[in-house]
Structure 1
Amino acid sequence: MDRNFARALALVLESEGGWSDKKADPGGATMKGVTLANFRRYVKADAGKADLRKITDAQAATVYRHFYWDAVLGAELPDGIDYAVFDFAVNSGPGRAAKYLQAALGVAQDGRIGPATLAAVKAKPAGVVIDTLCDARLAFLQRLPTWPTFGRGWGGRVASVRRQALLMSATPQVPPGSSPMMPASPGEALTVATPAGGATQPPAVPPAKPPSSGLAGILALIALALGSAAAWVAHLPCNLFGVFCP
């Protein structure tokens, strides 16, 4: 989803690093992963390498959004899959990333993500799509003649993308401004609304229940029986000898 663009871009920039101008790299001179050609296309038409080296984060984000994220419809892909396809596009081109996603989904590989691809990607578990895509991406890189030179870095990058993409797909996204309600843990005191100007108050404790009415009745009968026995003993002579007792 589009809310993942900033997070995905931060991860891509970690992989891309800073300035690079190696002759063995087919992409040519790059800064923060942005090629001179793309810098000229989206930022400054007559830019040279010196301008590219001074690219700002905002300028880099502009290039990445238009040339890669929007090209693979990152805003419409499920969480995690958006980042996996986006990073693949940055590393190997949007068209190839789209085709490999389509191959993983079993739909026509035309290199353009459209309604059929989006319907298919939303019908499959994200984890399965991510694993299939990363496996195919790694196999593609291993077939390149430059694998002996860049293979170690590429392999580590694909492993990192797989790990982060799976994490993104498994982490529930909380809409901005919302706060999920969590139940109190056992033994944790609950609180009620805070009155104006006062501290948070604990909930009122209900009064203790009076003794059971059944127990009270039994105690009353025992007291009555004891009282009667005491009175009979006090009048024992009268009872035995017929003596008048007041």
Structure 2
Amino acid sequence: MARETLPVALELMFGDEGGYSNRASDRGGPTKYGITHTTIVAHRGVSSVTADQVKGLTKMEAEDIYRRSYWGQSGGDLLPPGLDYAAFDFGVNSGPARAVKTLQKVVGAREDGHVGEQTLAAVRRYPGGVGAVIREHCAARMAYLRSLTNPQTGFPVNGRGWTIRVIGKDPKKQWADQPGVIGNALRLAANASGSDVEKTQTPPEAGAKADSRDTGLGEVLKKPEAWGPLGGLLSAGGALFAGNGPVQWLWPLRSSQASASGCTTSSGAFARLGDVQPYLSGRWRCCRRPRRLPRHAGGQRRLAAARGARRGQGRRARRSPSSHHESNRRTDQCSGSRSR
């Protein structure tokens, strides 16, 4: 449908993604024309490529890679003119799936990363037409770029270049205003021939890959889907400490039993790992009693032996000198009351 805009989109792309680069602040590593070494490896079907091989990438091969791996996956053959270029540029910079999902979120379609009939229908129904979709899509792209807060490879070091690339304005006012992706996309939407588009000049950091791995923790937690794994982890931890699992019968101390046995560990505290062994051998009475052993061969005999050991310790505790004197004192009091 919008294939006529592809040659124009490619020329604009080579303006934003020009030449070879291998900057420390770019997660893409060795890159030429915006195509990383890993993309070249996948396209050529080889195990690896050297930096010199990346430098030797021709413009013709780069165009072929763009056609095969970015244009179609970003919806270029289906989306209206102008919007196809905006999604294509976003896809080269951050991945086609990210570009399409952002578009789907803007228009209220299902975010599956693939442009289909539902996405196209949502674009057609969007209030304000294609121009409004382009503006909102570029605004959502800038919001995504600002969420990449990694100080080494995120917005703090590449944000100025990304801003010039997308909206055509330099935050530091050192570069002249340009149409940017948003301006040229709007021009293509008005005139698909691309006769009035303007090739932009951007700083080197404009071509740095915007990777979601650079997203800050604060931005991740703002997304509802991020709370699923975290909520599961918290629930599991709560169940572990509140239920009847091994933590309850091995480590926590009962305050009443601890005070009665003279245990020095405070109530509610955890016993040292080395204190667990005496309990397992039946000589430690500060913790809760363990669950019943499985009913396998010999299990009942071991359970009976453990219970016998605990009962034996209880008898020794009752026969201690302090307990014996206390028992004699109560007996003397009782006999005295009867004699009176």
Q: TM-score range by the shorter chain?
A: 0.5 to 0.7
> How does 1:121-200 map onto structure 2 within 5 Å?
121-124=123-126, 125-145=129-149, 146-159=154-167, 160-171=180-191, 173=193
Deviations 1:14-46 (A, max 9, x none): 111211111221111101111111111113624
* Conserved 8 A contact 2:4-2:192: no
Report the Cα distance in structure 1 between the residues aligned to 2:107 and 2:93, rounded to whole angstroms.
Answer: 21
TM-score norm. by structure 2 comes to 0.49
Query: Distance in 1 between the 2:5 and 2:113 partners?
Result: 22
| CA displacement at 1:120 relative to structure 2 | 1.7
Alignment of 1:1-246 (within 5 A): 1-43=2-44, 45=46, 46-124=48-126, 125-145=129-149, 146-159=154-167, 160-171=180-191, 173=193
Q: Matches of 1:77 and 1:17 in 2, distance apart?
A: 25
Work out the CA distance in 2 between the residues paired with 1:173 and 1:9.
Answer: 13
CA contact (8 A) 2:82 2:192 kept: no
CA contact (8 A) 2:4 2:193 kept: no
Cα distance change, pair 172–12 in 1 and its aligned pair in 2 (3 A) = closer
Contact 2:142 2:163 (C-alpha < 8 Å) held by counterparts? yes
CA contact (8 A) 2:80 2:130 kept: yes
Query: Which residue type is aligned with residue 22 of structure 1?
Result: R
Which amino acid in 2 is paired with 1:67? Answer: S
User: Structure 1 residue 148: deviation in Å?
Assistant: 1.4
Are the counterparts in 1 of residues 109 and 118 from structure 2 also a CA contact under 8 Å? yes
Distance of 1:17 and 1:32 partners within structure 2 = 5
Q: Does the CA contact (< 8 Å) of 2:5 and 2:193 recur in 1?
A: no
RMSD value over aligned CA atoms? Answer: 1.5
Instruction: Give distance in 2, aligned partners of 1:103 and 1:18.
Output: 33
Q: Distance in 1 between matches of 2:164 and 2:31?
A: 20
Evaluate the alpha carbon distance shift between residue 172 and residue 7 of structure 1 in structure 2; reply closer, same or farther with a 3 A threshold. closer
TM-score (norm 1): 0.68
Q: Which runs of 5+ in 2 are unaligned?
A: 168-179, 195-340
Name the SS of the counterpart of 1:83 in structure 2: helix
What CA distance in whole angstroms lies between the structure 2 residues aligned with 1:171 and 1:6? Answer: 14
Q: What residue identity is the alignment partner of 1:161?
A: V
- Superimposed CA distance per residue, residues 19-75 of structure 1 (whole angstroms, 9 cap, x where no aligned partner): 111122111110111111111111362432211101111100111111110112201
The CA deviation at 1:123 is: 3.2
Contact 2:76 2:84 in 1 (8 A): yes
The offset of 1:173, in angstroms, is 4.6
Q: Is residue 78–residue 122 contact of structure 1 (8 Å, CA) maintained in 2?
A: no
Q: One-letter code of the match for 2:190?
A: A
* Residues paired across the two proteins, number: 174
